[in-house]
Structure 1
């Protein structure tokens, strides 16, 4: 049984803990929050849980072996580093880190300490995502793709009121690309590989981050267009253009409908895809398999592929925001 600790007590943390418990392979063991009452309110429904209001105490809980980190983005690096040095596996909510240097340091440190590091990019762990991957032809039969993920954030109301919430702050490594745009970037790199060139055209808001934007990932024979935003909503499907037709998905972050429009045979083929009620169950299950079976060669290969994909996505996101002139505080370190 994985003894799980959490940093961050928001809705996504609760969803991950519920997903982890649903697998039957985790038990929530510890909650960190700067305020004890906040930690207790979060953990009270999960039984016997320890609480900590400082990170040293939290990471020194002996039976705690895995930590899920869902704090503001700019805090991930130091917290993950402290966790690894304390001998804990770390699951870091996307975006795991602000810069390629941070990503490289954590990967190297985890390897040195024989600790597992996972970026919680849930869409690549879903069976629906793998079904699409299996359906796709060789790259020379791909003509391009359009992926959109735009969802209005209630925190933008605070920006309009003159405030600077974490998700829209350069200090906390926020913005649309790193928060929502990371899903289509993950999809593109997982399905098509590393692009030759990555650019991003951002619509910046008052805090200096991108409220929305359009990215282009250029491959040898096709482009992937990415639209993302947190100041408006998009209801566009995701499409992949093939030499013999078009694959249409209802979304890129959570695929529960996908159909191939066959141009040659003038017919539509529906792919067998669906979403679980809790979309984080599949990633929690995959992480648990690796943690509980550290010598399994197949799982070890899967883990190495996930880590390398995280590294590549981080670099592409970095290149995209640099092309748009988006500079985080973390870039100056």
Structure 2
């Protein structure tokens, strides 16, 4: 049984803990929070043994071998780096880092600790329906492009409208639509089509300076992929990948609940599997499989790391195109 420590006690952490428990591979032992009461309440709810309010103590004395990091985006890099230095495996919520420099620094720390594994929690790439879309793309006689939409109103935007600046809508915390919901679409695009040749991002900025919504254009050799992302409004549009006279249609390219193939005669064929009740179950199982037997799962692990690297590069290049810079970043940062 793998022992798990967590940083962050929000809803997504609870969802991962539930998935980890359902997988039968993990035991939550250690909880970190800046506030003792918060840590103690979360630990009691989930039967964890220890709580910490100091990160050094958490990493040095915590009885866990893997840490799940679900803190604000801007903290992921430093906390993942610290965890690796202490010899802990790392599962970090997407986006794992804000730019390529941080990605390379984590790679350097990993080389100094070759027994440590680092995973970006891009949950949908571990689900069966992600692979079913990929397999169906290979069956298309021609790919002429795709339009992927993930727009979901955030309850935190109410606070922005009230004059506040929540972490997810703050440049100080590497927030914004592209860095949140846009990561799912970036993983779809790169996972299904590879890296584009050219990119452009057209953000709609809100009062706090981040992108509340935006449109990304990814140009490939023979087609274009459009990404529509937003946290300030809802969209109920399906997403699709266009063939010649056929198409792959998805209810939601992040959730991948329903997937159909529409053939040239207009007939619909369901090609998706029933999703897990907890959408993080597949990744919890996959991460445990690799950690328990890394020598026999190097191919999967290295493929995930390369995909994470490419997605990070894509997101960074899109931000540069849209002139979106987080606090402390220079506009002339190399791509």
Band the TM-score falls in, shorter-chain normalisation: over 0.9
Contact 1:99 1:330 (C-alpha < 8 Å) held by counterparts: no
SS at structure 2 position matched to 1:137? helix
Equivalent of 2:326 in 318, 324, 328: 328
Could you say which residue in structure 1 is the equivalent of 2:76?
76
1:54-94: CA deviation from partner (whole Å, max 9, x where unpaired): 10000012531100000000011110000000000010001
Alignment correspondent of 1:274: 274
Aligned to 1:258: 259
List aligned pairs for 1:123-202, cutoff 5 A.
Answer: 123-137=124-138, 141-202=142-203
Does structure 2 conserve the Cα–Cα contact (< 8 Å) formed by 1:185 and 1:313?
yes
- 2:7 counterpart residue number: 7
2:60 counterpart of 1:65: no
Task: Note the alpha carbon deviations across 1:85-142, whole angstroms, 9 max, x for none.
Answer: 0000010001111111101211232233021100001011111111111121268711
Match of 1:302 among 281, 300, 305: 300
Q: CA deviation at 1:178?
A: 0.7
Give secondary structure in 2 for the equivalent of 1:153. coil
Measure how far apart 1:27 and its partner are.
0.4
Deviations 1:149-186 (A, max 9, x none): 01111111111111111000001000000100111110
Instruction: Give the length in aligned residue pairs.
Output: 330
| Match of residue 292 from structure 2 | 292
Alignment RMSD (CA, Å):
1.4
8 Å contact from structure 2 (residues 50, 62) kept in 1: no
- 5+ residue gaps, structure 1, are none
Corresponding residue number in structure 2 for 1:211: 212
Q: Is the 8 A contact 2:140 2:243 kept in 1?
A: no
The CA distance in 2 between the partners of 1:129 and 1:48, in whole Å, is: 33
Q: Could you tell me the TM-score, scaled by structure 1's length?
A: 0.96
Matched, 1:86 2:86: yes
**Partner SS state of residue 331, structure 1:** coil
Q: Which residue of 2 aligns with 1:312?
A: 310
Name the CA shift for 1:301/1:330 in 2 (closer, same or farther; >3 Å).
farther
User: Within the alignment, does 1:226 sit opposite 2:227 as a pair?
Assistant: yes
- Give the whole-Å Cα distance in 2 for the aligned partners of 1:328 and 1:309: 23
Please tell me whether residue 55 in structure 1 is matched to residue 55 in structure 2.
Answer: yes
Report the CA distance between 1:45 and its aligned residue: 2.4
More deviation, 219-228/271-280: 271-280
The question of whether the paired residues in 2 share the 8 Å contact of 1:8 and 1:69 is answered with yes
TM-score (norm 2): 0.96
In structure 2, relative to structure 1, the CA distance for the partners of 1:246 and 1:325 (3 Å cut) is same
SS of residue in 2 equivalent to 1:96: coil
Measured in 2, the distance between the counterparts of 1:117 and 1:195 equals: 25
- Deviation string 1:246-295 (CA, Å, 9 cap, x unpaired) is 111111011121111111x4422211322111000001111110000011
